[in-house]
Structure 1
Amino acid sequence: MKVLLLNGSPHKNGCTYTALTEVANSLNDEGIETEIFWVSTKPLMSCTACLKCAEKGECAFDNDRVNEFVKKAYDADGFIFGSPVHYAAATGAITSFLGRAFYSNSNGDGSSAFKFKPAAMVASARRAGTTATYDQLNKFFGITQMPIISSFYWNMVHGNSPEEVRQDIEGLETMQQLGKNMAYFMKCIEAGREKGLTIEDKPKTRTNFIR
């Protein structure tokens, strides 16, 4: 089993990476393979609703790492998405990244890189805005039928540098428990699958508020 961790910070080895590394180490201790994937600092297009992904099976914009991430996502069994707090919200980069990744990942055959796979988000901040960021990114999982994994506190760390994050003992312990909880639920899902348990994916009727 493998967990793919997305680092949505412009700093490849900064505070968010430090938090994700703590989760990854905890997952590794539980026998789960991990990979930390960085969004990079290249400019990222937001989704333009061109709908070309329905034809191509991937996002039409291929000058960044979104399609590369989605290809890896098909082989992952769980996800951790990390973002620093910018103006009490997730970064513009990870928001654009996830908007395109989640919208374009279906191949038109009903398959999905994310559906039914457990996910969690991690926020890092110097001081505040973490819970707003936590709520914001969890919405990607809630609309994609992904079990949302929590810890014994909201998934956040505090610090203005990796060194300061390492002094946030409660934050680090929250990351460690998050890794253990993720491993537990992944093993439960695997055990259920071995018993032949499946989830019925009912068809969805799309409506708006006037019909």
Structure 2
Amino acid sequence: MNNLLRPLKVVAINGSPRPRGNTFSLIKKMFEVFQKSDVETELVNIGNKNIKGCRACMKCLELGNYKCVIDDDIVNETIQKLVKADGIILATPVYCAGPSGQMKCFMDRVSIVNFLNVKHLNQKGYLNGKVGAGISVHRRGGAVNTQSQLNYFFSSNGTIIPGSTYWNFATGLEPGDVKDDQEGMNNMTDLAKNMIYLMNLVRNDQKKKEKYY
């Protein structure tokens, strides 16, 4: 199928060690909005996986195939999902005023593969032009710093970051607590709507380029 004819698709990466915890509740809220607009969704849980850190070996520059040389965890498999996605969500609990360790390792490796493959293949990276949003759950503090780190990942890889009605985080500790943060949950709804709007703009632009160029 022509990629421009298939339904829009969002892949959410859950960096929480609790696959059905508060971070998942935020993703679920956004997925409900996507599914009402016929946007396909896929959830990838990495927070309960053994994600190895980047070795700075630079082998991905030699490979040039959108793969990390470390091939015994979930990262390469997930990169292929990101390649095919129109929208990407990075979701994480706040740990020490930053994303979870699994999410940080994931971002490091996905980002360097994208960057070095661009240099190797002399073309845009697989994250360029996609729509990406970071969301997080905090107990008391550190959420703003976490959001900054998630946004740095997107902005350094050419990914389009949508705005919303407030910063993209909610407050909670025990599973289900975030559902009591009405402002946080409403923000997930607005964020999802803005992602849909931007993904459609990108898709329509791609159709125009395919038609005329």
Aligned pairs, number: 198
Q: 1:33 maps to what in 2?
A: 40
More deviation, 55-64/15-24? 55-64
> Which amino acid in 2 is paired with 1:141?
F
Q: 1:79 maps to what in 2?
A: 88
Per-residue CA shift, 1:29-78, capped at 9, x if unaligned? 12211111111423322111111112332111112110010011111011
2:56 corresponds to which of 49, 56, 68 = 49
- Partners of 1:9 and 1:163 lie apart in 2 by 14
Q: 1:201 maps to what in 2?
A: none
> Which amino acid in 2 is paired with 1:48?
R
1:66 corresponds to which of 57, 63, 75 = 75
- Partners of 2:138 and 2:47 lie apart in 1 by 19
Per-residue CA shift, 1:120-173, capped at 9, x if unaligned? 100101121111100111001111111111210000011112321111111111
- Partners of 2:171 and 2:206 lie apart in 1 by 38
- Partners of 2:33 and 2:169 lie apart in 1 by 16
Tell me the CA shift for residue 197 of structure 1.
Answer: 8.1
Per-residue CA shift, 1:174-198, capped at 9, x if unaligned? 0011110000010111122222289
- Partners of 1:87 and 1:127 lie apart in 2 by 11
> Which amino acid in 1 is paired with 2:74?
R
More deviation, 115-124/160-169? 160-169
Q: TM-score, normalised by structure 2?
A: 0.88
Question: Identity rate of aligned residues, in percent?
Answer: 33
Check conservation: 2:47, 2:100, Cα contact below 8 A: no
Q: 2:106 maps to what in 1?
A: 97
Check conservation: 1:8, 1:81, Cα contact below 8 A: yes
Name the SS of the counterpart of 1:127 in structure 2: coil
Let me know the Cα RMSD of the aligned residues: 1.7
Q: 2:182 maps to what in 1?
A: 169
Q: 2:128 maps to what in 1?
A: 115
Gaps of 5+ in 1: 199-211
Name the SS of the counterpart of 1:87 in structure 2: coil
- Consecutive aligned runs of 4 or more in structure 1 exceeding 6 Å deviation: none
Q: 1:10 maps to what in 2?
A: 17
Q: 1:209 maps to what in 2?
A: none
- Partners of 1:197 and 1:160 lie apart in 2 by 48
Q: Name the one with the larger helix percent.
A: 2
Check conservation: 1:30, 1:180, Cα contact below 8 A: no
> Which amino acid in 1 is paired with 2:183?
E
Tell me the CA shift for residue 112 of structure 1.
Answer: 2.5
Name the SS of the counterpart of 1:162 in structure 2: coil
- Partners of 2:103 and 2:30 lie apart in 1 by 19
Q: TM-score, normalised by structure 1?
A: 0.88
Q: Is 2:156 aligned against 1:143?
A: yes
- Partners of 1:173 and 1:139 lie apart in 2 by 24
2:27 corresponds to which of 10, 17, 20 = 20
Q: 1:208 maps to what in 2?
A: none
> Which amino acid in 1 is paired with 2:94?
V
- Partners of 2:135 and 2:129 lie apart in 1 by 19
> Which amino acid in 2 is paired with 1:184?
Y
